[in-house]
A = this chain, B = another copy of it.
Amino acid sequence: MIETPYLLFLGDAPDPLAAKVAQGIKDWRPDNCVGQFRMDGCKADMKLPDMTLAEAKEAGAKTLVIGVANRGGKISAAWKEVLLEALDLGYDLAAGLHTLLRNERDLAEKARETGRALHDVRIPEVEYPIANGEKRRGKRVLAVGTDCSVGKMYTALALDRDMKAAGMKSSFRATGQTGILITGEGVPLDAVVADFMAGSIEWLTPDNDDDHWDVIEGQGSLFHVSYSGVTLALVHGGQPDALILCHEPTRTHMRGLPGYALPSLEALRDTALELARVANPNCQVIGIAVNTAGLDDSEAEAYLHQVQDRMGLPAVDPYRHGTQPLVEALQKL
């Protein structure tokens, strides 16, 4: 659990895309951010107040979150200076970098000296149990994809936002590093040891109020041979009551796997539902979320109509149109 609120460290981001983690935090949890910290030459801007470490501390910031990718896989001397000063000022540090904070000797020593925490969100901080399959109270919805990187996290965050706006009880449950930095907690599922994957998801989505929804961030795809095992652990550990199918219609092959075609939405529906019903016999597919970024407005509308007719389910682009029809479908369950 990462202490909030944050000061977002944008470093010397060479372009806005390098700071997409910071952008995610700003977009989805603006209340978690007191400001941004930018170095000379930073080309990213979250439209948050620029603050020094001391100013942000004064404003209540607890954790300096590295919201930017490091260049060349190394934490530079210029970054180091800021991070060490932050520890001295009483900040915890959090990052999802491949380079682990804890493996930088000077940071590790300073954190020990100052009693501060280094959160490397790629690494589990919890000993998860083996899944026991017991039915838990409360409701759960999971986004599953025809492929990796088709908008599952975005869909879950948008759904959580729209459900809260509709007065429903809802919690976004992060299962990847960006999601964990956004909310301050979650399970870095791709780094969990095989035997404990499903158990980590049971741990993440415990008993809750009968009318509470966990909106579980999906990972991978049942049809992506590199990561399908991770996805099935989510389907079985999450015991979803509802599935949302996620798709990107211009993808020509599975991400990183030339020669592997994407499954149809029908195949995803049938396979995911059959497997999900092992853990929850009442599971339903309630709608479809399409990432239409590759289509213009009229193409997107035509595509969504066609999918909706073909599948007999509401189909939306959460980014373009929000998730209202999916929220309504969940309310009816």
Footprint of B on A, CB under 8 Å? 130-133, 189-195, 197-199, 222-223, 225-233, 236-237, 254, 256-257, 259-260, 263, 271, 274-275, 278-279
Contact = CB atoms under 8 A, between A and B. Distances in A.
B194 A226 contact: no
A136 B98 CA distance: 30
A76 to B, nearest CB: 26
A254 B198 CA distance: 16
Given A225-B278, A232-B229, A194 B197 contact: yes
Task: Determine chain A's interface SS by DSSP, over half rule.
Answer: helix
A258 to B, nearest CB: 9
B278 A229 contact: no
B198 A194 contact: no
Contacts of A233: 194, 228-229
B237 A198 contact: no
A29 to B, nearest CB: 26
B133 A226 contact: yes
Given A222-B275, A279-B225, A195 B230 contact: yes
Given A222-B275, A271-B275, A195 B190 contact: yes
A193 B192 CA distance: 6
A228 B231 CA distance: 10
A233 B198 CA distance: 14
A133 B220 CA distance: 14
A199 to B, nearest CB: 7
A207 to B, nearest CB: 16
Which of A130, A199, A236, A257 has the most chain B CB within a 10 Å cutoff? A236
Given A132-B257, A232-B229, A274-B271, A191 B198 contact: no
Contacts of A229: 194, 197-198, 229-233, 236
B133 A230 contact: no
Nearest to A195: B190
A260 B133 contact: yes
